[in-house]
Structure 1
Amino acid sequence: MSDARPLRVVFICAQNKLRSPTAEAVFRAGYDWEVASAGTNRDAETPLSRDLLEWADVAVCMEKRHRDVLRQKFRGTLPDDRILTLGIPDEYDYMDADLVTLLKRLVPGRLEGTRPRQEPA
């Protein structure tokens, strides 16, 4: 019997209105992942929190500045090798076809081989 659980992925942008919710919607089905999304800004739709990062196995940031905020504000919550940066600028609407294509091209390969963190015994 395997106790493996799905990989938990949180997608991060600034406002959690366009890019990260698109990623959450795109990867919600068809992958062996549990997904969530959040924003680094205080007024984000779902603000990034320590609890969310502790839940996640991997954080996928849209831009370097989101990774930098995560590292500074939530230091030590996720190791650096569990924080990915896609380099997707804030120039897309929610579910924009080009954004969806870009996410599908970039994300699965970056997460391939990533395993869930070990739960404390």
Structure 2
Amino acid sequence: MTNILFVCTGNTCRSPMAQAIMQHRSEWNVQSAGIFAGEGADASQGTKEVLHAKGIPFLHQSQPVTDSLLEWADLVLTMTQNHRDLLKQQYQAATNKIYALKEYIDPDYEQAWTELKEAYAQLEDQKLVGKEMQADVIRKINKLEKKVQNVDISDPFGGNIMTYQKTYEELDNYLAQLVKKMENENR
């Protein structure tokens, strides 16, 4: 059975919402934690309201990311690229299992990174003849950068219920894709 750890900043909004949705959708072992989380805080009111409205039961107490949680996890999915990068810096032994959620789901993400590195190398080699060819490579770089930078799940903290609803819908969409991906990998 797969152990999944969702990580956000304070472990009161996005990661507990992701945990609740995933527990509702699957049989996998799921936990959540926060990079700057305190111990034992409840989920935010907006998170609780949205989950309740969707009929997803959930009790939550925040917890910080720890070595033992990362050892427990087979897969660590963060809500932003900054969360991913901080974890990879602090827990270098776990880097091979830490991803931003959207990055992990999107099969084109890895390809976009490869193409972006190649385009930068091409630009740096300055083997491009003519301004038109350089402009084409720069347009390609701009397009690819947008693709690889768009991996953050929106943070509803401090927002109204509509903001939490929007984050729920975003997470629900990506977690449905995650379930499909993991079911296909486990066949």
TM-score (norm 2): 0.51
> Match for residue 55 of structure 1?
72
Q: TM-score, normalised by structure 1?
A: 0.76
- Check conservation: 1:58, 1:78, Cα contact below 8 A: no
Conserved in 2, the CA contact under 8 Å of 1:15 and 1:39? yes
Q: Percent identity?
A: 28
| Amino acid paired to 2:153 | I
Deviation at 1:33, TM superposition (A): 1.1
Partner of 1:37: 32
Structure with higher Rg: it is: 2
The structure showing larger relative contact order (alpha-carbon pairs under 8 Å, at least 6 residues apart) is 1
* 1:105 and 2:173 correspond: yes
1:61 shift after superposition:
0.4
Question: Which one has the bigger strand percentage?
Answer: 1
Decide which structure has greater helix share: 2
Number of aligned positions between the proteins: 108
**Correspondent of 1:64 among 58, 81, 89:** 81
**Is 1:27 equivalent to 2:22 in the alignment?**
yes
1:90 equivalent to 2:155? Answer yes
What is the one-letter code of the residue matched to 1:63? T
Q: Which runs of 4+ in 1 moved over 4 A?
A: 92-95
Q: Deviations over 1:69-113 (max 9, x none)?
A: 11011111241xx32213113235699322222112113424613
In the aligned structure 1, how far is the partner of 2:81 from the partner of 2:95? Answer: 16
Give the one of 48, 60, 63 matched to 1:46: 63
Q: 1:50 to 1:108 in 2, by over 3 A?
A: farther
Comparing 90-99 and 11-20, the one that deviates more: 90-99
Q: CA RMSD in A?
A: 2.3
Q: Which runs of 5+ in 2 are unaligned?
A: 40-61, 103-151
